[in-house]
Chain A
């Protein structure tokens, strides 16, 4: 079984409204999958369901064959799923270094964390991430003082030090300048292969740059799946995007 993530018949019912409706897909280990869909398609909700923020009504999620549907958020995280939010979610009052130290601890328990030491392995991971995200000049700054782009990279970096096998990215380039977007694409490309990545994006230039396979969602359902050319030619996709101005 080489699937990193298996989503099978996943459904959530918000008082009669199915934000995600019988959604099924499989993602290969090391794959980079882009999820597209008009506003309100259920992309964020899908990530909420996978990461445990929202409890599904039916269906199941498997991580490397292991069922994780009913676990708590922190258990799902320890199982190997890392989540980046649409709005940067970092520890604003802690320094950049401290943010990374928190994310790097391989030890969830309170009592086992009653120590100063940081393992060689953790240290190395942190250094790799600093290099990757180019944050070495701001290690001592409060994370809250970073620029918008740096915050996004820090959050991304924390998922790597966390050692997430599968990374969920919700609109990682939202609010970024063109240059910042390019740098983000670079970071994500470097992660390809090492991590399995699921990314929601609206910016088509960005999507063309990074995408291999694309899944299109509409009204909570899977609308189409395939490489970028297939998706752009797909009639159903064109129609779904008609109201919101089409894919561009």
Chain B
């Protein structure tokens, strides 16, 4: 390539490496497992910020319903963990049956997963934890592919995509609440068992779980970064700038948009699964509009056109929120504060924290060039 590695790019890598080191060394600095558990949840939110940055920053597709994919991933995996819960084994059957189904069952129905309540047979394959894990990724992928194909083949864009995705997450939220006998409605899936992988039990308040989340998070960040820096990633960014130009250069724009929409959904689905491991529940609140909008705020504050910026934005905002929530007065004011920050960022710093950092790097670079050219 003609371009040399610039200071900006070096700074970018420096930020990644610092972030990884900090995240991976955190457990060495503390033995407060509650705090670590909290950080691992924030890292999961970081992945959600990253998923938003991928679709909004790189593809120009503002998805206001990312919670849909997060929720689907979370529910799919929580179903498996629910069946592993000790409570599911105490319902008088030798096979696991979720406790809430027993409470909902018609008197006299068999205490069997196949037929205790209508539709409960859907839970049968989730007795395998692997099945739940696969579905947590595959279902978001399939849904995103279908939705994305419809949206992008019809060349829907801009605010209409936001409206459609918003409507969709609301619809699925209602469906989940409505299917109360098999989803436990508003209450969601609680009292879950632990993930078991390679003979390790992932107690959410143990270092293993923190590392599972942290390492997954780092790997996904690297993979996403690789993806956007390939030529496909560049072509995707070109479709964001001027879709028609990309078309007349010979690219099937919809194919690129669908592909990255699906990747973004898969990341959100995976994040949903990790969240269930760390938080031990899945609930319809994952599909609340306010949650999906929060993700957009995290990405905007961190910098939607920077993947790591969005991750840091998410971790930062959630950390601040958690610490101010401990004071009663601030707890009330927080929503207002975050709203003001969002407006401030959108109006004055459209590229977020990452944008400020990049401008700073460029400024340094110019100064550096200037001084070396003077010397030389």
Chain A residues with a Cβ under 8 A of chain B: 51, 53, 72-75, 77-78, 82-83, 89-94, 97-99, 101-103, 105, 107-111, 113-116, 118, 139-140, 158, 162
Q: Is the CB of B245 within 8 A of A110?
A: no
- Name which of A74, A75, A93 has the most chain B CB atoms within 10 A of its CB: A74
- Whether, in the assembled complex, B146 has its beta carbon less than 8 Å from a beta carbon of chain A, the answer is no
Assuming the A-B contacts A74-B253, A93-B241, A110-B259, are A102 and B248 also in contact, with contact meaning beta carbons closer than 8 angstroms in the complex? no
- Whether, in the assembled complex, B216 has its beta carbon less than 8 Å from a beta carbon of chain A, the answer is no
Q: Is the CB of B252 within 8 A of A91?
A: no
Residues of chain A within 8 A (CB-CB) of B23 are none
Q: Is the CB of A110 within 8 A of B238?
A: no
Assuming the A-B contacts A92-B241, A97-B2, are A77 and B259 also in contact, with contact meaning beta carbons closer than 8 angstroms in the complex? no
- Name which of B227, B229, B246, B247 has the most chain A CB atoms within 10 A of its CB: B247
Q: Is the CB of B230 within 8 A of A115?
A: yes
Q: Which residue of B lies closest to A155 (CB)?
A: B245
Assuming the A-B contacts A78-B250, A110-B256, A139-B3, are A92 and B234 also in contact, with contact meaning beta carbons closer than 8 angstroms in the complex? no
Provide the bound-state CA to CA distance between A92 and B243, in Å: 12
Provide the bound-state CA to CA distance between A89 and B246, in Å: 10
Q: Is the CB of A94 within 8 A of B250?
A: no
Q: Is the CB of A105 within 8 A of B3?
A: no
Taking chain A's interface residues, is the majority helix, strand, or loop, or is none over half, making it mixed? loop
- Name which of B237, B238, B253 has the most chain A CB atoms within 10 A of its CB: B238
Residues of chain A within 8 A (CB-CB) of B244 are 53, 73, 89
Taking chain B's interface residues, is the majority helix, strand, or loop, or is none over half, making it mixed? helix
Q: Which residue of A lies closest to B256 (CB)?
A: A110
Residues of chain B within 8 A (CB-CB) of A114 are 227, 230-232
Nearest 4 Cβ contacts at the A-B interface: A77-B250, A113-B232, A91-B241, A73-B247
Q: Which of A73, A83, A99, A116 contacts B230 (CB 8 A)?
A: A116
Assuming the A-B contacts A92-B242, A94-B241, A110-B256, are A162 and B231 also in contact, with contact meaning beta carbons closer than 8 angstroms in the complex? no
Q: Which of B2, B238, B252, B255 contacts A102 (CB 8 A)?
A: B238
Q: Is the CB of A101 within 8 A of B249?
A: no
Which interface class (under 10, 10 to 19, 20 to 34, 35 or more) fits B? 20 to 34
Q: Which of A78, A89, A109, A118 contacts B1 (CB 8 A)?
A: A118
Q: Is the CB of B241 within 8 A of A105?
A: no
Question: In whole Å, how far is B303's beta carbon from the nearest beta carbon of chain A?
Answer: 14
Residues of chain A within 8 A (CB-CB) of B62 are none
Provide the bound-state CA to CA distance between A94 and B240, in Å: 10
Residues of chain B within 8 A (CB-CB) of A162 are 249-250
Chain B residues with a Cβ under 8 A of chain A: 1-3, 227, 229-232, 234-235, 237-238, 240-242, 244-253, 255-256, 259
Assuming the A-B contacts A98-B234, A113-B230, A118-B1, are A108 and B251 also in contact, with contact meaning beta carbons closer than 8 angstroms in the complex? yes
- Name which of A91, A92, A99 has the most chain B CB atoms within 10 A of its CB: A91
Question: In whole Å, how far is A151's beta carbon from the nearest beta carbon of chain B?
Answer: 12
Residues of chain A within 8 A (CB-CB) of B241 are 90-94
Provide the bound-state CA to CA distance between A46 and B2, in Å: 38
Q: Is the CB of A116 within 8 A of B251?
A: no
Assuming the A-B contacts A89-B245, A91-B242, A94-B237, are A115 and B253 also in contact, with contact meaning beta carbons closer than 8 angstroms in the complex? no
Q: Provide a sorted-by-A list of 13 A–B residue pairs whose CB atoms are within 8 angstroms.
A: A73-B248, A74-B247, A89-B248, A91-B237, A91-B245, A93-B240, A94-B234, A102-B235, A102-B238, A102-B249, A110-B232, A113-B231, A113-B235
Assuming the A-B contacts A92-B241, A139-B2, are A108 and B232 also in contact, with contact meaning beta carbons closer than 8 angstroms in the complex? no
Provide the bound-state CA to CA distance between A113 and B228, in Å: 11
Residues of chain A within 8 A (CB-CB) of B259 are 110
Question: In whole Å, how far is B155's beta carbon from the nearest beta carbon of chain A?
Answer: 11
Provide the bound-state CA to CA distance between A101 and B1, in Å: 10
Residues of chain A within 8 A (CB-CB) of B248 are 51, 73-74, 77, 82-83, 89
Question: In whole Å, how far is B355's beta carbon from the nearest beta carbon of chain A?
Answer: 12
Residues of chain B within 8 A (CB-CB) of A110 are 232, 255-256, 259
Provide the bound-state CA to CA distance between A105 and B251, in Å: 10
- Excluding A82-B249, A108-B252, 15 further A-B contacts by CB distance (< 8 Å) are A51-B248, A72-B247, A74-B247, A89-B244, A90-B241, A91-B241, A93-B241, A94-B237, A94-B241, A105-B231, A113-B232, A118-B231, A139-B2, A158-B249, A162-B250
Provide the bound-state CA to CA distance between A109 and B235, in Å: 10
Residues of chain A within 8 A (CB-CB) of B237 are 91, 93-94, 98
Residues of chain A within 8 A (CB-CB) of B235 are 102, 105, 113
Residues of chain A within 8 A (CB-CB) of B247 are 72-74, 77
Residues of chain A within 8 A (CB-CB) of B252 are 72, 74, 108
Provide the bound-state CA to CA distance between A90 and B232, in Å: 17
Residues of chain B within 8 A (CB-CB) of A116 are 229-231
Residues of chain B within 8 A (CB-CB) of A93 are 237, 240-241
Residues of chain B within 8 A (CB-CB) of A72 are 247, 252
Question: In whole Å, how far is B101's beta carbon from the nearest beta carbon of chain A?
Answer: 43
Provide the bound-state CA to CA distance between A103 and B249, in Å: 6
Provide the bound-state CA to CA distance between A51 and B247, in Å: 10
Question: In whole Å, how far is A89's beta carbon from the nearest beta carbon of chain B?
Answer: 5
Q: Which residue of B lies closest to A107 (CB)?
A: B231
Residues of chain B within 8 A (CB-CB) of A51 are 248
Residues of chain B within 8 A (CB-CB) of A73 are 244, 247-248
Provide the bound-state CA to CA distance between A118 and B230, in Å: 10
Q: Which of B3, B229, B232, B251 contacts A74 (CB 8 A)?
A: B251
Provide the bound-state CA to CA distance between A75 and B252, in Å: 8
Q: Which of B3, B238, B249 contacts A97 (CB 8 A)?
A: B3
Provide the bound-state CA to CA distance between A73 and B245, in Å: 10
Residues of chain B within 8 A (CB-CB) of A89 are 242, 244-245, 248
